[in-house]
Amino acid sequence: MAGPSKNDVLAVLAGIRNPLTGKDLAASGMVSDIFVSDGRVMFSISVPADKAREAEPMRAEAERLVKAMPGVERAMVALTADVAPGSRPAAPPPAAARPQGGGHSHAPGHTHSHGPAATPQKPGVPGVTSIIAVASGKGGVGKSTTAVNLALALKANGLKVGILDADIYGPSVPRLMRLSGKPEVVGGRTLKPMENYGLKVMSIGFLVEEETPMIWRGPMVVSALGQMLREVAWGELDVLVVDMPPGTGDAQLTMAQQVPLAGAVIVSTPQDLALIDARRGVAMFKKVEVPVLGIVENMSYFLCPHCGERSDIFGHGGARHEAERIGVPFLGEVPLEMAIRETSDAGLPVVATAPDGPHAAIYRAIAERVADSLGNTASRRVAPRIVIE
């Protein structure tokens, strides 16, 4: 059965009265762009922060009615609460809007007076031992390429590994992993991750067309990521690598607050502008008490393939010096190398397709340091060979 159109969804929303405006929900101007794909419907409702509790029944009713529409397999409706500068919500969000497992929803700048005992319990993912984030303070530093090769290197070092592409606005893991198509739905609502090179993979890129723009606000992004994290049949994993969105905005902060991250890897280039943003990334994770496992200096140097001369195009050693300055581990240097770029664009990451090469060795050494930081002795197992068919 074909799924509904956006107009069909709006027709259902027109039957819901908005208690904040007195109008029907469709005509209230509070509904975001509606995303419809393969039986999935997602949108958000923008409300003032101090009206979140009052609006929660409306949100729940909208989600229930949309989910009951013919052809709809899953519906996700999120409240987007706008906070005026310098203000705070008058009341905490309703229990239905909090993370599972007794956790609390946080707003930037919110503080508690209960001391350490009030630290929220972040719900884990069944079967997953450790979740690590690969992040960057800005885009364009090779974060996703690093995340994929790090995940493959952890696998090559003997671990069971999955990768979650949390970069909602620019999902590139499907291309990097040479994967396409739609994930299978098992048990009515759980997604089966795609697989290649021995990794389990999930990405919003499997659910939308490659050129479809994702015009979502922070809470909508966080809700989508929560579903991709916890409604996926990951099975038993030693490590789940999360390719985070670049930057340090609301989506990144909330993700770090609500996901039980065992640590974060920061990717930067050596140049000063990138390092400034990398500092913000480190500061964000420290603020939410997520251990920083270390910094990777990507595009560290360039070796001419013809003459062998080395050029420090973006400078050199900046990330190492920054790591020493702020007291976090330095994980390694990855060169600006044409082979890495070519294999990434082709969906043939070097760790999987050239496991005995010098670049794969760099990523495996970084993976070893990351695993050691996690206290995971499995990194010392005899690594199985990855066979590319």
Q: Which of 80, 101, 18 is nearest to 54 (CA)?
A: 18
**Per residue in 28-57, is it b (16+ CB within 10 Å) or e — as a string?**
bebbbebbbeebbbbbbbbbbbebbbebbe
Contacts of 368 (CB under 8 A, 6+ apart): 157, 379
Angle at which helix 318-326 crosses helix 272-287, to 10 degrees, equals 30
Query: Over 270-295, what HEC string results?
Result: CCHHHHHHHHHHHHHHHHCCCCEEEE
pLDDT in tens, the chain (389 residues): 567 888 999 999 999 998 888 889 988 888 877 888 778 888 888 888 678 788 889 988 998 999 999 988 888 787 765 444 444 333 333 333 333 333 333 333 333 333 333 445 677 888 999 999 998 866 778 889 999 999 999 999 999 999 999 887 778 899 999 998 888 888 777 889 999 999 999 998 887 766 565 656 556 677 777 778 888 999 999 999 999 888 766 667 777 777 888 999 988 877 655 566 677 778 788 877 889 998 898 776 566 666 666 665 555 666 777 778 878 888 988 887 777 888 888 889 999 999 999 889 999 999 999 999 887 434 434 333 443 33
Contacts of 37 (CB under 8 A, 6+ apart): 3, 207, 208
Q: Looking at the domain that runs over 1-86, which CATH code has it been given? A: 3.30.300.130
Q: What ranges do the domains of the chain cover?
A: 1-86, 128-377
Residue 233, pLDDT score? 92
C-alpha distances (whole Å) from 119 to each of 91, 112, 113, 252, 292 are 19, 9, 11, 19, 19
Sign of the dihedral defined by the CA atoms of residues 254, 257, 263, 268, in that order = positive
How many Å apart are CA 197 and CA 179, to the nearest integer? Answer: 10
The torsion angles phi and psi of 123, rounded to 5 degrees, stand at -65, 135
Q: How far is CA 145 from the centre of its chain?
A: 14
This prediction's pTM: 0.68
**Which residue stretches of the chain are H helix?**
6-13, 52-67, 143-156, 173-176, 218-230, 250-258, 272-287, 318-326, 338-345, 350-353, 358-373
Residue 355, pLDDT score? 92
Hunting for tokens 């590994």 — which residue is that? 161
Residue 34, pLDDT score? 84
How many Å apart are CA 102 and CA 278, to the nearest integer? Answer: 32
Q: Looking at the domain that runs over 128-377, which CATH code has it been given? A: 3.40.50.300
Residue 313, pLDDT score? 58
